[in-house]
Structure 1
């Protein structure tokens, strides 16, 4: 199983595994974000071999995408030997649906400086399984394995993995694989019943100070609803070694 199949060098066909949560007839945006990450890394590797790593992934979600063929393109906005800004776009039928701006940065040995005040979450083996399809429909949610430690509505720690490949018969990096799960954060500890209140995110930004390792990606997540129709889902990202970055999603609240 895979979320996407390659059609040609810049085109990908979505499969039923990407079925959305708000609308099962359109794509859940999470796998598409992983796909764009892969497109950026593939372009980087075709252009240079000096090992730049991704420090930031910032996506703007311009609209829904049908479960059909999409096209991806990449351009370098700010070239550089040690820092580079790249933009990628995913489109359908001539209309851009997702834009990504990624900072690529030269790595170095800073092990002696390593440290963070972000607390660790409970290890995955000590968290109980939780079925997200008890709250959400759609093929993507069904494909996710979740373990969750709920504190209250809108506050939880959880781990996520999937057995579904990002792209059929194509290897992707650990980052692209987990980036395809980032957008699940907004639905794993809901503050309000999604049958009564819609709260889709219109963007997603991840800042990473370490490259993810292992098959699970962990989230320490807080969902906040403001009084004027805007909300925020914010997370600290984890792998088995501890925190690796942060993630934020701005929400439009629609009772």
Structure 2
């Protein structure tokens, strides 16, 4: 159990149901503050549902507490990066990122020097500054994804939720994003993200939540969560985790002929 000032989110009895079907059932879960937490698991395991339930975006039973026991309210205290954001927006990249500053603007809604600096810094961090005058609808999927992350960075909230943020990103920008998230955690922000890539999750996240059939199969450090038995149960496929001489996580998912047939 984490001490009260060491966790960012705590959920108890968290349940999401739709048309009589249980999509999520989590008895208890704590996510650490000032760390990167990655939610992993197979397709349909409940990763996005858990993320949205923690953010308060879906009706859910149970309770979620945010930063030392405070209730978690949608849009309060955290930024959100969903999937396929900004695809049909007629806004420019600069104006879209600037939306992240709107909650901080005063009565007249006029951005000041700090707001402009935050926007410019976010554009540069996610390498979309050269696209500032481009329309969102004209961007590639990867460019839109980086712009959506830039908007969240500009928002400057103590926590950031991201749903599969590495989708559509090339190899370089996947690592750029994960390094940025690690830096934000080091600076004091709490990051919760859904990831499909086990290597990215294991090598960049401080805390993993392994999901299966809407339940938490394991939660803890990569060393605690990543064992062959749990991965086989979660993915229904033989996955052998190991670490190389430099300590980086690697995953062998080739299996054997009889395992493939199973």
* TM norm structure 1: 0.23
* TM norm structure 2: 0.22
Greater RCO, 1 or 2 (C-alpha within 8 Å, sep 6+):
2
